[in-house]
């Protein structure tokens, strides 16, 4: 009974700790906040039922893998192309800069999906390339390479619209 309670507490803690980057990751794959929210909730509710998070060697990477699988399964079921919802913010606006948030969201959305995944996992998920390789089932070198390409594209897209030096 105590072990079960401990597992539930651990899962709730993980939700609080990784909920935001997981939601961002799911939103970046679906383009739609409510579907992303459903995917994240679905993963955590299943975990609470099975209490299996403590069995995972790397809980954080495991959570991202679960969310990705939930999104991909949902996409298969719905069989429709994903589109970006312009009204749905992905980030809290730093200094209430709505334009910057929208620019970043669009720049991320314009990236190829594999590069978008790696970028979000590395920057906001704070996963290492080894962990990303585990989540996406690719090599760590491929993950690093995708990240470099993505970062260059992002920088180009964002700096074309605003003066990045002001933020540095």
Residues engaged in binding another protein (CB under 8 A): 1, 4-5, 8, 12, 15, 19-24, 33, 37, 40-41, 44-45, 48, 89-94, 100-101, 104, 123-124, 151, 154-156, 159, 163-165, 167-168
In the complex, the smallest distance separating the C-beta of residue 131 from another protein, rounded to whole angstroms, is 17
Instruction: Name which of 2 and 57 has its Cβ closer to another protein.
Output: 2
Q: Tell me which DSSP letter residue 93 carries.
A: P
Q: Residue 114's CB: how many other CB atoms inside 10 A?
A: 15
Instruction: Name which of 39 and 133 has its Cβ closer to another protein.
Output: 39
In the complex, the smallest distance separating the C-beta of residue 141 from another protein, rounded to whole angstroms, is 17
Q: How far apart are CA 7 and CA 35, in angstroms?
A: 26
In the complex, the smallest distance separating the C-beta of residue 163 from another protein, rounded to whole angstroms, is 6
Which residues have CB under 8 Å from 64's CB, separation 6+? Answer: 22, 25, 121, 125, 127, 135
Rounded to the nearest 10°, the torsion over CA 28, 18, 119, 96 is 70
């Amino acid at each position: 009974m105590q072990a079960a309670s401990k597992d539930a507490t651990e899962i709730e803690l993980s939700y609080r700790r990784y909920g935001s980057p997981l939601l961002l990751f799911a939103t970046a794959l679906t383009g739609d906040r409510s579907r992303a929210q459903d995917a994240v909730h679905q993963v955590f509710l299943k975990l609470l039922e099975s209490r299996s998070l403590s069995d995972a060697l790397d809980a954080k990477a495991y959570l991202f893998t679960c969310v990705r699988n939930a999104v991909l399964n949902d996409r298969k079921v719905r069989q429709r192309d994903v589109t970006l919802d312009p009204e749905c913010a992905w980030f809290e606006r730093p200094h209430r800069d709505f334009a910057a948030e929208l620019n970043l969201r669009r720049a991320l959305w314009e990236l190829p999906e594999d590069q978008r995944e790696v970028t979000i996992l590395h920057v906001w998920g704070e996963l290492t390339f080894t962990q990303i390789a585990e989540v996406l089932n690719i090599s760590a070198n491929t993950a690093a390479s995708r990240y470099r390409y993505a970062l260059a594209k992002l920088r180009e897209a964002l700096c074309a619209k605003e003066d990045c030096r002001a933020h540095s």
